[in-house]
């Protein structure tokens, strides 16, 4: 069903697509040099007063022509529509496999013509580098430079990349560069050049899921204290309780802990203190709460991994390790103490911004994803982004089977392994989705015992991510993955010809960086050979039913479930999906499990017999809706608090930038001096009569601001006597004195 106004937008996009088709042949007739020259023609027309909207059909036709020549790919009509939706500042919802990466080239080229810089946000460094190189071939054919920001780059390298027409990178890199620019001591240290137009790939993941966590730049504060280890040892002696019993309570839904009377008594006894809540002991309460949270709420191989003695956070939405990121307020140190690794020094926040407020810096924002409808209201309310659903190029024929719900997790995994063994034997490729590193490794061990060969993709194997996912559609392939496999790389039946072509050229000694001209010249031929090689296997896998997606647990968000399902059935291919669930899954355990358990008990269900029931499906949907609502509230609160800071941040960063750029701020400083002196005098002379004014106190306060040279006696002399002093006279004399000090 179309939302209000969406039909009108789609009609407009279809009209643009028809205009592009009408002039496609004109651009095909151009030589490579003439096609490249169109960019300067477009820029001249912009200078002469035409708008980007005026140029859109011709610019898109130029990109389509360049893509056919460099990559051997022609933008479909629906991709042209998607590109127009992006340029007009919308989120284009396009299903997996519809070529979103190619869609971005249209809007990025058009907006790059203004020369203000275009930012394209990807979900990881690998995709940023891969897309900037591959899509960069299209742009280079049109005389447009593309750059890429990678985590290991120096400030000088970043400045060069930001200076190019189109720059690819992750949201964290762009956000942290913004914060670092506003901590710079000279203009030489600045790397970014403004925020004109931004395209966010997997926009729901970045603008919704990751928006709960602000970007924070920290600096070293105090050394880590002994208390982290002390409390990590202590909480092992405390027992979790419920309904007021035990030493402490845990609310997993809200991720909070509360220490009970019995627990307080044990802590006081262990530490040898009389009252934990005396003001002198206040810091100890933070150590205690963090130690309990580390014990109960932060799970190894789910929330974090211990990688060679270093605690690395695992992104709950993507399953990727967040190198260099640490929990704040002592939480990371508490986890380090729990794990028995070296405890790093504590940090203090030097600069921070939420992703919401970072992306609201852009003059124009747009994005692409396969799943945005469920979050359309939030995207509009926070970012003023509309969601436009673009039809698939081919009809979607994937079959989504009903959920199977088991009483226990053990029974669920037993059935999962049998299903996978059967599919593998038949040759059907399978992608298995798990919610954590721990669960993926548990399933991997069960498959190993069953003798089913498979690949595991989780935070510990992230370096091989793209290669594993790219070949997950080959015959008999079984890929066990956390939800990191739900993003970024296409799973093609029979294998991914682009990756096969890259491997082939690498074997020939060709490199896109070291030998760019030879590489690009050989690309179309290598890709054609790879497509021919995988075509036979594609047909065979298609005959086996296509890619089977098996989810072992529901995610908190329906969107992530849909994203996992969407890996199958791309471009009209056959496919199938099914979720295996148990009442012991986290989502079911925290929400509504009791009702389902009563149903299964009443029905006398065996552990290994699954149920398919509308009541269970409603229960699951209700649980997900509750979590989504809670997460939305968290994001709204994060934004609400940051909005207060944001106004101050905009003003301070703006003034700071003016100083860096050498602007003459003399007049502005004079205004500041006038305002500050006036406010101090107003406070000191609030009482009605001069004899009630404490001028000594006023002088002491002013001396903390600047070296006051005028005395109270000189003010009395100027007034004639003490009783004739007025607030106006004080303001004139002290303001003049302050200006002299500033000018000295």
Query: Residue 551: which of 441, 412, 458 has the closest Cα?
Result: 412
Query: How far from 232 is each of 228, 304, 307, 338, 366, CA to CA, in Å?
Result: 6, 17, 20, 5, 46
Q: How far is the C-alpha of 583 from the C-alpha of 592, rounded, in Å?
A: 9
Residue 4 CB neighbours (<10 A) = 6
Query: How far from 704 is each of 472, 502, 739, CA to CA, in Å?
Result: 68, 66, 16
Bridge partners of 312, per DSSP, are: 305
Q: How far is the C-alpha of 74 from the C-alpha of 63, rounded, in Å?
A: 9
**Token digits of residue 139:** 């742009």
Query: Residue 311: which of 292, 290, 287, 338 has the closest Cα?
Result: 338
Same domain, 547 and 464: yes
Q: By the 8 A CB rule, do 376 and 367 touch?
A: no
Give domain status of residue 696, yes or no. yes
Give domain status of residue 654, yes or no. no
Same domain, 569 and 424: yes
Q: How far is the C-alpha of 567 from the C-alpha of 547, rounded, in Å?
A: 8
389 or 485, which is more confident: 389
What dihedral angle (degrees, nearest 10) is formed by the CA atoms of 674, 677, 678, 680?
A: 160
Same domain, 501 and 586: yes
* Secondary structure of 394-446 in HEC code, one letter for each residue: CCCCCEECCCEEECCHHHHHHHHHHHHHHHHHHCCCEEEECCCHHHHHHHHHH
DSSP assigned state of 240: B
Average pLDDT over residues 553-577: 85
Q: What is the pLDDT of residue 462?
A: 58
Query: Residue 86: which of 66, 111, 61, 62 has the closest Cα?
Result: 111
Same domain, 467 and 607: yes
Same domain, 337 and 412: no
Q: Which of 345, 364, 380 is the last residue of a domain?
A: 345
Q: What is the pLDDT of residue 294?
A: 94
Residue 409 CB neighbours (<10 A) = 19
Q: How many domains does the chain have?
A: 4
Same domain, 408 and 444: yes
Give domain status of residue 476, yes or no. yes
Average pLDDT over all residues of the chain:
86
- Give the rounded distance of the alpha carbon of 140 from its chain centre: 28
Average pLDDT over residues 629-655: 85
Angle between helices 100-112 and 52-70 (to 10 degrees): 130
Give domain status of residue 660, yes or no. no
Residue 643 CB neighbours (<10 A) = 13
Q: Are β-strands 248-251 and 478-481 bridged in parallel, bridged antiparallel, or unpaired?
A: unpaired
Residue pLDDT, tens place only, 115-173: 999 999 998 888 898 889 989 999 999 999 999 999 889 999 999 999 999 999 999 99
pTM: 0.77
Give domain status of residue 640, yes or no. no
Same domain, 594 and 465: yes
Same domain, 715 and 591: no
Average pLDDT over residues 28-32: 92
Give domain status of residue 642, yes or no. no
Q: What is the pLDDT of residue 61?
A: 96
CATH number at residue 405: 3.40.50.300
- Rounded percentage of the chain residues whose pLDDT exceeds 90: 41
Residue pLDDT, tens place only, 471-505: 888 899 999 988 655 455 678 888 888 888 888 88
**Token digits of residue 147:** 């750059």
Show the domain range for 504.
Answer: 399-628
pLDDT band at 27 (very low <50, low <70, confident <90, very high): very high
CATH number at residue 694: 1.10.3060.10
Q: H/E element holding 121?
A: strand 118-122
Give domain status of residue 20, yes or no. yes
Average pLDDT over residues 631-643: 83
Give domain status of residue 86, yes or no. yes
DSSP assigned state of 142: T
> First-to-last CA distance in the chain?
71
Q: How far is the C-alpha of 411 from the C-alpha of 418, rounded, in Å?
A: 11
DSSP assigned state of 251: E
Same domain, 380 and 412: no
Q: How far is the C-alpha of 611 from the C-alpha of 596, rounded, in Å?
A: 10
Residues 6+ away with beta carbon under 8 Å from 28:
65, 68
Query: Residue 98: which of 119, 115, 73 has the closest Cα?
Result: 73
CATH number at residue 240: 3.90.1440.10
Same domain, 332 and 376: no
Same domain, 489 and 622: yes
pLDDT at 247 over 70: yes
pLDDT at 223 over 70: no
Same domain, 135 and 283: no
Task: Please tell me which of 386-390, 595-599, 685-689 the model is most confident about, judged by mean pLDDT.
Answer: 386-390
pLDDT at 298 over 60: yes
Query: Residue 83: which of 106, 113, 101, 99 has the closest Cα?
Result: 106
pLDDT at 530 over 90: no
Query: How far from 585 is each of 126, 434, 710, CA to CA, in Å?
Result: 32, 11, 75
């Amino acid at each position: 069903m179309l939302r209000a106004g969406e039909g009108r937008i789609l009609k407009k996009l279809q009209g643009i697509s028809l205009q592009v088709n009408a002039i496609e042949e004109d651009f095909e007739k151009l030589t490579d040099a003439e096609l490249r020259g169109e960019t300067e023609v477009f820029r001249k027309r912009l200078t002469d007063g035409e708008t980007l909207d005026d140029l859109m059909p011709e610019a898109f036709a130029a990109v389509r022509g360049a893509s056919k020549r460099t990559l051997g790919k022609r933008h479909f009509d629906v991709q042209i529509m998607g590109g127009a939706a992006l340029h007009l500042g919308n989120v284009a919802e396009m299903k997996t496999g519809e070529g979103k990466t190619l869609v971005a080239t249209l809007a990025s080229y058009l907006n790059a013509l203004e020369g203000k810089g275009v930012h394209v946000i990807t979900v990881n460094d690998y995709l940023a580098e891969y897309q900037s190189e591959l899509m960069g071939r299209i742009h280079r054919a049109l005389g447009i430079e593309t750059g890429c920001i990678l985590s290991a780059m120096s400030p000088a390298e970043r400045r060069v990349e930001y200076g190019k027409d189109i720059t690819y990178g992750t949201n964290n890199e762009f956000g942290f560069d913004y914060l670092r620019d506003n901590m710079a001591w000279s203009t030489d240290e600045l790397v970014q050049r403004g925020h004109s137009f931004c395209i966010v790939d997997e926009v729901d993941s970045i603008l919704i899921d990751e928006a709960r966590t602000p970007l924070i730049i920290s600096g070293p504060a105090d050394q880590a204290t002994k208390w982290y280890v002390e409390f990590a040892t202590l909480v092992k002696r405390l027992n979790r309780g419920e309904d007021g019993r035990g030493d402490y309570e845990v609310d997993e839904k809200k991720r909070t802990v509360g220490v009970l009377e019995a627990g307080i008594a044990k802590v006081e006894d262990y530490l040898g203190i009389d009252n934990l809540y005396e003001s002198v002991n206040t810091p100890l309460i933070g150590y205690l709460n963090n130690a309990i949270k580390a014990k109960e709420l932060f799970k190894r191989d789910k929330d974090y991994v211990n990688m060679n003695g270093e605690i690395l956070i695992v992104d709950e939405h993507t399953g990727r390790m967040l190198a260099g990121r640490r929990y704040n307020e002592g939480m990371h140190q508490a986890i380090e103490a729990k794990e028995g690794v070296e405890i790093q020094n504590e940090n203090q926040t030097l600069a921070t911004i939420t992703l919401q407020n970072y992306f609201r810096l852009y003059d124009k924002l747009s994005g692409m994803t396969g799943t945005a409808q469920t979050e359309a209201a939030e995207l509009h309310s926070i970012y003023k982004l509309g969601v436009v659903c673009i039809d698939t190029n081919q009809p979607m024929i994937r079959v989504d089977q009903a959920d199977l719900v088991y009483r226990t997790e053990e029974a669920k995994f037993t059935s999962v392994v049998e299903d996978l063994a059967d599919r593998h034997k038949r040759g059907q490729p399978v992608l298995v989705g798990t919610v954590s590193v721990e669960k993926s490794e548990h399933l991997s061990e069960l498959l190993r015992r069953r003798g089913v060969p498979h690949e595991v993709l989780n935070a510990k194997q992230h370096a091989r991510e793209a290669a594993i996912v790219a070949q997950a559609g080959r015959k008999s392939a079984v890929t066990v993955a956390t939800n990191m496999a739900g993003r970024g790389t296409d799973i093609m039946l029979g294998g991914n010809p682009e990756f096969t072509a890259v491997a082939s050229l690498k074997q020939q000694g060709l490199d896109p960086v070291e030998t760019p001209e030879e590489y690009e010249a050989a690309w179309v031929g290598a890709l054609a050979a790879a497509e021919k090689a995988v075509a036979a296997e594609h047909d065979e896998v298609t005959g086996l039913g296509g890619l089977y997606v098996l989810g072992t647990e529901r995610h908190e968000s329906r969107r992530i479930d849909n994203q996992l399902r969407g890996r199958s059935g791309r471009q009209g291919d056959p496919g199938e999906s099914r979720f295996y669930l148990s009442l012991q899954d986290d989502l079911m355990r925290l929400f509504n499990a009791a009702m389902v358990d009563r149903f299964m008990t009443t029905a006398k269900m065996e552990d290994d017999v699954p149920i398919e029931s509308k009541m269970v499906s409603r229960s699951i949907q209700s649980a997900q809706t509750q979590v989504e609502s809670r997460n939305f509230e968290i994001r709204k609160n994060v934004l609400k608090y940051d909005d207060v800071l944001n106004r101050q941040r905009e003003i301070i960063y703006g003034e700071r930038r003016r100083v860096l750029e050498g602007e003459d701020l003399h007049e502005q400083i004079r205004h500041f001096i006038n305002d500050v002196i006036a406010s101090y005098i107003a406070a000191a002379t609030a009482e009605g009569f001069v004899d009630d004014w404490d001028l000594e106190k006023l002088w002491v306060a002013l001396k903390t601001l600047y070296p006051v040279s005028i005395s109270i006696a000189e003010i009395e002399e100027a007034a004639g006597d003490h009783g004739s002093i007025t607030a106006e006279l004080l303001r004139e004399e002290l303001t003049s004195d302050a200006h002299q000090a500033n000018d000295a």
